[in-house]
Each structure stands twice: as C-alpha cells, then as structure tokens.
Amino acid sequence: AGEQNTTGERNAYFGNFAGRSSNGSNNVAIGQGAGGNGSYSNSILIGASAGLGNSSNDNIFIGRGAAQLLTTG
C-alpha cells in the first residue's frame, strides 16, 4: 500500500496496491487497488479499485470500482 507515492503527505492506505503510484495529500484509500494511479487530495476511497486513476479532489467514493478514471467532479 502506498508504493511509489512520491509527493503525497498525510495519507492512509490499506489493501494490496492501495494508493500505488498516486500523488496527493490527506487521503484514505481502503481496498485492493483503491486510489491507485491517480492524482488527488482530500478524498476517501473505499472498495476494490475505487477511485482508480482518479484525478479529481475532495471526493468520497464507496463501492467496488466506484468512480474509476474520474477526471472532474
């Protein structure tokens, strides 16, 4: 969890590959792949692949695959 996160601060990642290769601060990602490959801040992502590839800030995503590849919102 949190692997290859180079610019983020104050994040909590729980789950295999959660938050991997992501950038941003003040996030919580729970679930396999949740919040991976994204650039976001101030977000809560819960569920396998929730918010995967997300580049939108200030969100709450709950559910498997919720808001994958979201760019605005």
The yes-or-no verdict on residue 73 having pLDDT over 80 is no
Tens-digit pLDDT profile for residues 15-51 = 999 999 999 999 999 999 999 999 999 999 999 999 9
The rounded mean pLDDT for the chain is 93
CA distances from 59 to 22, 26, 42, 67 (A): 15, 11, 7, 10
The yes-or-no verdict on residue 1 having pLDDT over 90 is no
Q: Which two tokens stand for residue 5?
A: 């996160």
66 pLDDT band, cuts 50/70/90, is very high
Q: What is the pTM of this model?
A: 0.90
What is the reported pLDDT for 71? 82
